[in-house]
Amino acid sequence: MGTGTDTLTATAREAVASACAQVRDGGDGDEVDGVRPGLVARPADTDQVAEVLRAAAAHGLTVVPRGRGTKLSWGTAPRSADVLLDVSGLDRVLEHAAGDLIVATQAGARLADVQQVVGEGGQWLALDETVPGASIGGTLAANTSGPRRVATGTARDLLIGVTVVRADGVVAKAGGKVVKNVAGYDLGKLVIGSAGTLAVVVDATFRLHPVAPARRWVTVAVDDAARAGALSQDVVHAQVVPSAVEVDWTPAGDGSVSVLLEGREDGVVARADAVRRLLGDAATVGTDAPAAGATYPWDLTATGDLRATALKLTFVLSGLTDVLAAAGAAGASVRGSAGAGVAYAALPSDRPAEEVAAAVDRLRAACASHGGTAVVVDAPAAVKAAVDVWGPVPALDLMRRVKDQFDPDHRLSPGRYVGGI
Amino acid sequence: MTTQATGAATGTATRTGIDAVAARARELLPAAGVITDRAQLRTYECDGLAHYRVTPALVVVPEDAAQLAAIVRTCAEHGVPFVARGSGTGLSGGALPHAEGVLVVTSRMRAITDVRRADQRAVVEPGVINLDVTRAATPHGYYYAPDPSSQQICSIGGNVAENSGGAHCLKYGFTTNHVLGADFVTPQGDTVALGGAAPDSPGYDLLGAVVGSEGTLGVVTSTTVRLVRLPEEVRTILVGFETTDQAGAATSAIISAGIVPAAIEMMDALAIEAAEAAVHCNYPDGAGAVLVIELDGAAVEVEQEYAEVARLCEENGSFEQRLATDPAERALIWKGRKSAFAAVGRISPDYIVQDGVIPRTALPEVLKAIADLSRESGVRVANVFHAGDGNLHPLVLFDDAVEGAGDAAEKVSGAILDLCIEHGGSITGEHGVGMDKAKYMPRMYTDDDLDTMQLVRCAFDPQNISNPGKVFPTPRLCGEVPGRKKAAHPLQQAGLAEVF
């Protein structure tokens, strides 16, 4: 186990300790994908986040930000983690302007807490909670989304303002609190999915959507990948305005297609009926989500070598059949959004790393032939060592230049991201 | 009107550089695609914001991405600034040429190379007219949702550069939400793929940074856009109110009821007068404000929402409601709205189209403040705007032949932006910062915010040759240490650039 604490001298420890109210030594349970941090700093506010980063910069320390720690093993392990910057103390929902359909929240607030606050006004932040307990910051850093991205998009479509602290401790904001705003560069886009490598998000402002008064799920069992592909095409091209078109698939080559309709009761009933006709007589209509819900097809509680190899597959809509067929051949379970071209796959933890690597290659080829990619989201250490976690990434040189500008010393989450960024 | 010095780091751009780019362009392009004649160059001296004029040193009109990339590469080799331009309909001077630079016009790159119904995607070149994407998609049952008022003439490349949206953004999102991938030429002349046809490409979302960057990060040569399924039912309603307050209250009531219309547009009495004079759209007599409300979606729900919208408008004081019953009536309602900017020319010799944004709930207060400003200054202001998302387009009217009128109008126009900032809004919702509003950026953002944005520009364009002088008032030189610059900019000290 690496500790990466060579640079953590007594003076450096002292500097971090004086920057932030709560600082302690890294211990069991603080590991970032196997790397134990030297210190854990838990700032109480934006100023303290900035102070910690300034102290880290002054003493050449590496810093890995953490929200609620629900996805810390995702990506690649950091090369070094002198300081784990725990932003869970920044947990306030700052403003819910119901009339303007916006919410401003600190990064450490849980997505569920934000939903609770805005839900009281009949609204929701249109991001499914795919990882229970996740913070807003972590949700942005990992760019998670679920079934309802078909209707409302992802964080990319919802984030309208962001405040970040740079690696040098400078606090900066971009965007604001209005939905329509083209003044300046959209820095929010750059931090979404950046795995904590560009800057530390301290607060974020999102557009909200009204909660639909009625919903129906229409589900049909399918035992043929081509049939699943054809049905999902029928639904997306129909005028039924689905909120989600989900597929759940086993390595045996069977599973289900489920469609979510949301809106007013009469309309939802009519549209659910139209979808039922498209999916066939065997389709069922109900108000409950499929048992799998919005979660991924792997066990999120598993740790270490017991983790499944978790993948994110993307493809154009017409590629679903081939992707499901490839997943079956690779022995992967799949769950995800047939209506958006994003699905998640899991390969069992007991398979040898070389075999998993071959399966990843197979899935990567299938996704690439349909305009997409296959990224290893999480995996046991042996698998991460045996595969190219991120796969080929275009424009990598430009990404490196962006990283070099924001974090010239590669202080933030070094090695966690594409191309070793 | 003079413009600020835009040489920045490329103050060394010389005639030699321009000649080298022209020579390279002549090797690559037919003669008509390389313009050096002074009179012809002058036809490109401004975009839709005509009060800034700069004659470019050279205009090139490439026919494909490879030619465009080669020209940009030659510019980079010689430190020559370049500005990309589509149809030139921008309203903030974003495509204003550089006096010592090359204007790269994309109007011949006008192919819709692919419409893939199965994937709900189209691949288009930057010179493609916005409305033509919808025309190509409609036979497949699809359309392209972002629709600026100038959609019959503006280009997709310009829409991408400015992140310009239009009336349907409220429900369907902005250009940035509909652009998934792009072939992109960096300011070094390298071609890279950003994003892709599938969602969520791994790595930094560089495309997200490029959309709306106003041509300061490079040039897009092809984009993959999302197509949206044509709705089963569309209802367009024209509603007359006596006052803008009533129309604003009706808008809030609709949104509060959980209804997200495809569009809610408002025009006040002066804007209505202008539209009537220009296109005879037959809006309700005596209206102090009209709303154009469009509902779309599944038929059953549109029917229900229509009933509720009609009731909410009535409760908030509407005196007339007209439902368009056929496409011709629908088109006429929209014609009044979409022609409003140009129509203002019928009632005023000169005008400034302002573009600010406020939180929607601040509408009544801000409209009242604009009316006060107008009364106190004697400058007439017509209001046309996207009421649903708080994007105001006050048209500030003046007669340039009257001494001081232009300055008074500028002052009112600026004061309106201050109102927007004061209410937590933005200085631009869709027209961009361009040359026109660079001076307002420090009112909305701190030095640290602007410096941080500059990190992106330095990553993409360390030579500062891609549309220099736009968006940011005093760009930090790449290589300067961020966040510690408190003295005057070196260019400013040298007398080469002006601080607004």
CA distance A361 to A388: 9
Per domain, the residue ranges of chain A are 10-88+404-412, 93-127+134-210, 214-286, 309-395
Is residue B425 within 8 A of residue B385, CB to CB? The reply is no
SS3 percent helix, strand, coil of chain B, rounded to 5, is 40, 20, 40
Q: Is B203 on the interface with A (CB under 8 A)?
A: yes
CA distance B206 to A195: 15
Q: Where in chain B is the domain with CATH 3.30.70.2740?
A: 348-444
Is residue B463 within 8 A of residue B187, CB to CB? The reply is yes
User: Which residue in chain A has the smallest CA separation from B453?
Assistant: A185
- pLDDT for residue B7 is more than 80: no
The CATH class for the domain spanning A214-286 reads alpha beta
Among the partner-chain residues B206, B360, B432, the one whose CB lies closest to the CB of A182 is B432
What confidence tier does B13 reach under pLDDT thresholds 50, 70, 90? very low
3-state secondary structure of B432: coil
Q: What is the DSSP string of B97-125?
A: --TTSEEEE-TT---EEEEEGGGTEEEE-
CATH topology of domain B348-444: Alpha-Beta Plaits (3.30.70)
Among the partner-chain residues A100, A186, A264, the one whose CB lies closest to the CB of B209 is A186
The CATH class for the domain spanning B231-343 reads alpha beta
Contacts of A399 in chain B (CB under 8 A): 203-204, 206
Among the partner-chain residues A267, A372, A391, the one whose CB lies closest to the CB of B300 is A267
- How far does chain B reach from its first CA to its final CA, in angstroms? 14
CA distance A146 to B75: 45
Is residue A366 within 8 A of residue A329, CB to CB? The reply is no
Contacts of B457 in chain A (CB under 8 A): 185
The DSSP secondary-structure symbol of B35 reads: E
Q: Which has the closest alpha carbon to B88: B100, B80, B98, B97?
A: B97
Q: Which has the closest alpha carbon to B294: B265, B326, B328?
A: B265
Q: Would you state the pLDDT for residue B494?
A: 59
Q: Between β-strands B58-60 and B102-105, what pairing exists: parallel, antiparallel or unpaired? A: parallel
Q: Is B164 on the interface with A (CB under 8 A)?
A: yes
What is the C-alpha R_g of chain B?
23
Q: Is A401 on the interface with B (CB under 8 A)?
A: yes
Q: Is A189 on the interface with B (CB under 8 A)?
A: yes
Q: How many residues does chain B have?
A: 500
Is residue B78 within 8 A of residue B33, CB to CB? The reply is no
What amino acid occupies position A236? V
Interface mutation target, options A118, A178, A387, chain B, most CBs of B under 10 Å: A178
The CATH class for the domain spanning A10-88+404-412 reads alpha beta
What confidence tier does B14 reach under pLDDT thresholds 50, 70, 90? low
Reduced 3-state DSSP string for chain A: CCCCCCCCCHHHHHHHHHHCCEEEECCCCCCECCECCCEEEECCCHHHHHHHHHHHHHHCCCEEEECCCCCCCCCCCCCCCCEEEEHHHCCCEEEEEHHHCEEEEECCCEHHHHHHHHHCCCEECCCCCCCCCCEHHHHHHHCCCCCCHHHHCCHHHHEEEEEEECCCCCEEEEECCCCCCCCCCCHHHHHCCCCCCCCEEEEEEEECEECCCEEEEEEEEECCHHHHHHHHHHHHHCCCCCCEEEEEECCCCCEEEEEEEEECHHHHHHHHHHHHHHHCCCCEEECCCCCCCCCCCCCCCCCHHHCCEEEEEECCHHHHHHHHHHHHHHCCEEEEECCCCEEEEEECCCCCHHHHHHHHHHHHHHHHCCCCCEEEEECCHHHHHHCCCCCCCCCHHHHHHHHHHHCCCCCECCCCCHHHC
Q: Is A90 on the interface with B (CB under 8 A)?
A: no
- Residue A392 tokens read as 């080929």
Give contacts of A 247-306 with B, CB under 8 A: 263-264, 266-267, 270-271
CATH topology of domain B15-105: 3.30.43
What confidence tier does B488 reach under pLDDT thresholds 50, 70, 90? low
Q: Would you state the pLDDT for residue B491?
A: 54
3-state secondary structure of B56: coil
Give contacts of A 102-161 with B, CB under 8 A: 102, 122, 143, 153-154, 156-157
Contacts of A205 in chain B (CB under 8 A): none
CB contact under 8 A, A154 and B200: yes
Q: Is A312 on the interface with B (CB under 8 A)?
A: yes
Contacts of B169 in chain A (CB under 8 A): 179-180
Give contacts of B 36-75 with A, CB under 8 A: none
Q: Would you state the pLDDT for residue B492?
A: 52
CB contact under 8 A, A153 and B444: no
Task: Give the residue ranges of chain A where pLDDT is below 50.
Answer: 1-4
CA distance A207 to A319: 31
- Residue B177 tokens read as 């939400």
**Phi, psi at A369, each rounded to 5°:** -70, -10
Query: What is the maximum span of chain B, computed from C-alpha positions, in angstroms?
Result: 69
Buried residues in B40-69 as b, exposed as e (16+ CB within 10 A): ebeebbbbbbeebebbbbbbbbbbbbebbb
Q: Is B375 on the interface with A (CB under 8 A)?
A: no
B23-56 tens-digit pLDDT: 999 999 999 999 999 999 999 999 999 889 999 9
Q: Is B116 on the interface with A (CB under 8 A)?
A: yes
CATH number 3.30.70 given to A309-395: yes
Contacts of A190 in chain B (CB under 8 A): 204-206, 208-209, 456
Contacts of A263 in chain B (CB under 8 A): 297-298, 301
Interface mutation target, options B92, B179, B184, B200, chain A, most CBs of A under 10 Å: B200
- CA atoms within a 13 Å half-sphere pointing along the CA-CB vector of B316: 25
Question: Rounded to a whole number, what is the distance in Å from the CA of A275 to chain B's nearest CA?
Answer: 13
CA distances from A367 to A247, A417, B122, B447 (A): 16, 20, 19, 43
User: Which residue in chain B has the smallest CA separation from A407?
Assistant: B455
Q: Would you state the pLDDT for residue B482?
A: 52
Is residue B487 within 8 A of residue B499, CB to CB? The reply is no
Is residue B433 within 8 A of residue B49, CB to CB? The reply is no
Cβ pairs A/B, distance under 8 A = 277
Residue in this structure with the two tokens 């991001």, named with its chain if needed: A127
Q: Which has the closest alpha carbon to B473: B458, B486, B492?
A: B492
B326-364 tens-digit pLDDT: 889 999 899 888 888 888 888 999 999 899 999 999 988
Question: Rounded to a whole number, what is the distance in Å from the CA of A173 to chain B's nearest CA?
Answer: 5
Q: Is B286 on the interface with A (CB under 8 A)?
A: no
Q: Would you state the pLDDT for residue B346?
A: 87
The domains spanning A214-286 and A309-395 adopt the same CATH topology: yes
What amino acid occupies position B480? E
Q: Is the dihedral of CA A385, A387, A393, A397 positive or negative?
A: positive
Among the partner-chain residues A180, A237, A319, the one whose CB lies closest to the CB of B165 is A180
CA distances from B40 to A88, A206, B32 (A): 61, 47, 11
User: Which residue in chain B has the smallest CA separation from A372?
Assistant: B198
Q: Which has the closest alpha carbon to B440: B413, B458, B467?
A: B413
Interface mutation target, options A103, A130, A179, chain B, most CBs of B under 10 Å: A179
CB contact under 8 A, B202 and A340: no
CA distance A229 to A236: 11
- Residue A115 tokens read as 């939903």
Q: Would you state the pLDDT for residue B5?
A: 39
Which CATH number is correct for B112-229, 3.40.50.11030, 2.40.40.20, 3.40.30.10, 3.30.465.10?
A: 3.30.465.10
What is the rounded average pLDDT of the residues B284-299?
Answer: 94
With a threshold of 0.90, tell me whether the complex ipTM lies above it: yes
Query: What is the maximum span of chain A, computed from C-alpha positions, in angstroms?
Result: 72
Contacts of B460 in chain A (CB under 8 A): 398, 401
* Residues 6+ positions from B71 with CB-CB distance below 8 Å: B21, B24, B25, B28, B60, B62, B82, B102, B104
CA distance B149 to B168: 10
CB contact under 8 A, B452 and A399: no
Q: Which has the closest alpha carbon to B174: B141, B200, B208?
A: B208
Interface mutation target, options B143, B172, B204, chain A, most CBs of A under 10 Å: B204
Q: Is A418 on the interface with B (CB under 8 A)?
A: yes
What is the rounded average pLDDT of the residues B361-368?
Answer: 91
CA distance A243 to A124: 14
CA distance B454 to B465: 14
B31: buried, middle or exposed (CB in 10 Å: 19+, 13-18, 0-12)? exposed
| Residue B342 parent element (H or E) | helix B340-343
- A155-159: long-range pairs with CB below 8 Å, 24+: A155/A127, A155/A192, A155/A206, A156/A189, A156/A192, A156/B177, A156/B205, A156/B208, A157/B173, A157/B177, A158/A125, A158/A126, A158/A127, A158/A206, A158/A207, A159/A188, A159/A189, A159/A192, A159/A204, A159/A205, A159/A206
Is residue B355 within 8 A of residue B91, CB to CB? The reply is yes
CA distance A166 to A67: 16
Contacts of A267 in chain B (CB under 8 A): 297-298, 300-301, 304
Interface mutation target, options A143, A180, A231, chain B, most CBs of B under 10 Å: A180
* Residues 6+ positions from B314 with CB-CB distance below 8 Å: B321
- Residue B207 tokens read as 């495309």
**Phi, psi at B183, each rounded to 5°:** -90, 130
Question: Rounded to a whole number, what is the distance in Å from the CA of A390 to chain B's nearest CA?
Answer: 7
Is residue A118 within 8 A of residue A77, CB to CB? The reply is no
Q: Which has the closest alpha carbon to A201: A20, A413, A378, A420?
A: A413
Contacts of A181 in chain B (CB under 8 A): 357, 425-426, 428-429
CA distance B331 to A343: 41
Contacts of A239 in chain B (CB under 8 A): 229-232, 298
Helix axes A225-237, A265-279, angle to 10 degrees: 140
CATH number 3.30.70.260 given to A93-127+134-210: no
Its pTM stands at 0.95
Q: Where in chain B is the domain with CATH 3.30.70.2190?
A: 231-343
Q: Would you state the pLDDT for residue A5?
A: 53
- What's the mean per-residue pLDDT of chain B? 91
Q: Would you state the pLDDT for residue B462?
A: 96
B109-137 tens-digit pLDDT: 999 999 999 999 999 999 999 999 999 99
CA distance B470 to A185: 12
